[in-house]
């Protein structure tokens, strides 16, 4: 009987320890910081994805919790931004070119209202847009491109980051004003466009300035024909802007920034804006971007929101005038 009581006592102690361990484990799990997700609405690689990952590393330190990057490409960035719009929490941000918010919804039907379901948080930079010819392009400049397009309708093809992207709008401006028919080749982002250009999958592409693209231009593997920028780039003084070439409506740049679900609090968006601006000013973040000819553009939540509203209205007018539709 004594042995039985001793054994029963040991079992009770063991059970108590097991319950204590379980409660402790649950408490630790409950207090473990939840990861923040940055949704990139394009495929892995490329300027948007690489920049988001650089920011994620720094923001994790600032927030004191993990920050992961999730790629959700397709539909000109709208699939990923729909994920952000439907998140309904303060653990999700989207990092993107503003076109899925200010341009694509004018071209294609969306599952979200860009101005009601998404909230601008912080602009990071704007990037010049290059018109480049790949190995298949035999001309020497923009004029030669148009001459070839007129002589051989449908003979030229041009890749962009997708239907409803900024590149798509720029191409339609060129096609419409020059009265040519350069075939649109939409991608799910810019990462695969560069290797496919080198492989001769298409003739031309509209792509943002980046270190890899700059290197390929310097090596003569890609031919820079024109640039979307307010003025000629100091690092590319011999390359005219689209405005100089007589195509002011195609003279566009890409703005990149962070968005949150509209259900997030104003306080959260202000805190994230301050943190993102702090990270953007760090030399190991800003230096590689500016060396690739991007221009840092920090500012307040209100400034970014006003820019988004303005671009949304302007792009709507351009799309309607050009009669651009989903392909």
Co-location of 139 and 121 in the same domain: no
SS3 at position 103: coil
Co-location of 217 and 165 in the same domain: yes
Q: Is residue 13 part of a domain?
A: no
Looking at residue 116, the DSSP 8-state letter turns out to be: T
Co-location of 121 and 270 in the same domain: yes
Co-location of 103 and 209 in the same domain: no
Q: Is residue 28 part of a domain?
A: no
Co-location of 292 and 217 in the same domain: no
Number of domains into which the chain is organized: 2
Q: How far apart are CA 134 and CA 137, in angstroms?
A: 6
Co-location of 122 and 182 in the same domain: no
Last residue of a domain, one of 228, 250, 272: 250
Co-location of 149 and 244 in the same domain: yes
SS3 at position 301: helix
Contact at 8 Å (CB) between 174 and 167?
A: no
How do 183-186 and 92-97 pair as beta strands?
Answer: unpaired
Tokens describing residue 296: 């840092």
Q: How far apart are CA 9 and CA 96, in angstroms?
A: 62
Q: How far apart are CA 98 and CA 307, in angstroms?
A: 10
Question: Which ranges of the chain have pLDDT less than 50?
Answer: 1-23, 25, 27-29
Co-location of 240 and 272 in the same domain: no
Q: Is residue 187 part of a domain?
A: yes
Residue % of the chain over a pLDDT of 90: 75
Dihedral of the CA atoms 74, 78, 83, 85 (nearest 10)?
A: 180
SS3 at position 131: strand
Residue 296 φ then ψ, to 5°: -65, 140
Last residue of a domain, one of 198, 218, 250: 250
Q: How far apart are CA 57 and CA 59, in angstroms?
A: 6
Q: Is residue 7 part of a domain?
A: no
End-to-end CA distance of the chain: 85
What is the extent of the structural domain holding 282? 36-126+254-322
Task: For residue 33, count CB atoms less than 10 angstroms from its CB and return exposed for 0-12, middle for 13-18, buried for 19 or more.
Answer: exposed
Co-location of 168 and 315 in the same domain: no
Where residue 114 falls (left for φ over 0; alpha for ψ -120 to 50; beta otherwise) is alpha
Give the residues across from 215 on adjacent strands. none
Q: Give the model confidence (pLDDT) of 215-228 as tens digits.
A: 999 999 999 999 99
At 7 the pLDDT is 44
Q: Is residue 309 part of a domain?
A: yes
How do 118-133 and 295-296 pair as beta strands?
Answer: antiparallel
Contact at 8 Å (CB) between 71 and 127?
A: no
Co-location of 269 and 230 in the same domain: no
Concatenate the DSSP letters of all residues of 182-227 into one string.
Answer: PEEEE-SSSTTHHHHHHTTS-SEEEEE--HHHHHHHHTTSSEEEEE
Tokens describing residue 70: 């999730």
Last residue of a domain, one of 226, 250, 274: 250
Q: Is residue 11 part of a domain?
A: no
Q: How far apart are CA 315 and CA 310, in angstroms?
A: 9
Q: Which helix (H) or strand (E) segment is 173 a member of?
A: helix 166-178
Q: Is residue 57 part of a domain?
A: yes
Co-location of 181 and 209 in the same domain: yes
Q: pTM for the complete prediction?
A: 0.82
Specify the CATH number for the domain of residue 291. 3.40.190.150
At 109 the pLDDT is 87
SS3 at position 24: helix
SS3 content of the chain, % helix, strand, coil (to 5): 45, 20, 35
Specify the CATH number for the domain of residue 162. 3.40.190.10
Looking at residue 109, the DSSP 8-state letter turns out to be: -
Co-location of 233 and 215 in the same domain: yes
Q: Is residue 48 part of a domain?
A: yes
At 326 the pLDDT is 65
């Amino acid at each position: 009987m004594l042995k039985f009581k001793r054994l029963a006592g040991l079992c009770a102690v063991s059970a108590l320890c097991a319950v204590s361990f379980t409660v402790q484990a649950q408490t630790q799990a409950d207090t473990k910081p939840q990861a923040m997700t940055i949704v990139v609405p394009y495929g892995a690689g490329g300027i948007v994805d690489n920049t988001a990952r650089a920011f994620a590393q720094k923001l994790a330190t600032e927030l004191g919790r993990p920050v992961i990057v999730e790629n959700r490409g397709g539909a000109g960035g709208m699939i990923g931004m729909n994920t952000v719009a439907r998140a309904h929490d303060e653990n999700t941000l989207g990092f993107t070119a503003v076109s899925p918010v200010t341009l694509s919804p004018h071209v294609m039907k969306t599952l979200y209202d860009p101005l009601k379901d998404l909230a601008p948080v912080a602009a990071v930079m704007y990037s010049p847009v290059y018109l480049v010819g790949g190995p298949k392009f035999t001309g020497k400049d923009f004029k030669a491109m148009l001459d070839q397009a007129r002589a051989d309708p449908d003979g030229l093809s041009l890749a962009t980051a997708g239907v409803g992207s900024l590149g798509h709008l720029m191409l339609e401006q060129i096609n419409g004003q020059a009265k040519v028919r350069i075939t649109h080749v939409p991608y799910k982002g810019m990462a695969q466009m560069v290797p496919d250009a080198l492989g001769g999958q298409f003739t031309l592409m509209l792509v943002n300035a980046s270190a890899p693209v700059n290197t390929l231009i310097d090596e003569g593997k890609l031919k820079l024909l024109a640039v979307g920028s307010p003025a000629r780039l100091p690092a590319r003084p011999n390359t005219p802007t689209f405005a100089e070439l007589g195509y002011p409506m195609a003279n566009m740049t890409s703005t990149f920034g962070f968005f949150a679900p509209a259900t997030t609090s104003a306080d959260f968006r202000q805190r994230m804006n301050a943190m993102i601006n702090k990270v953007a000013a760090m030399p190991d973040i800003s230096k590689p971007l500016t060396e690739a000819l991007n221009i840092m553009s920090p500012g307040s939540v209100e400034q970014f929101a006003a820019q988004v509203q303005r671009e949304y209205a302007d792009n709507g007018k351009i799309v309607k005038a050009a009669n651009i539709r989903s392909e």
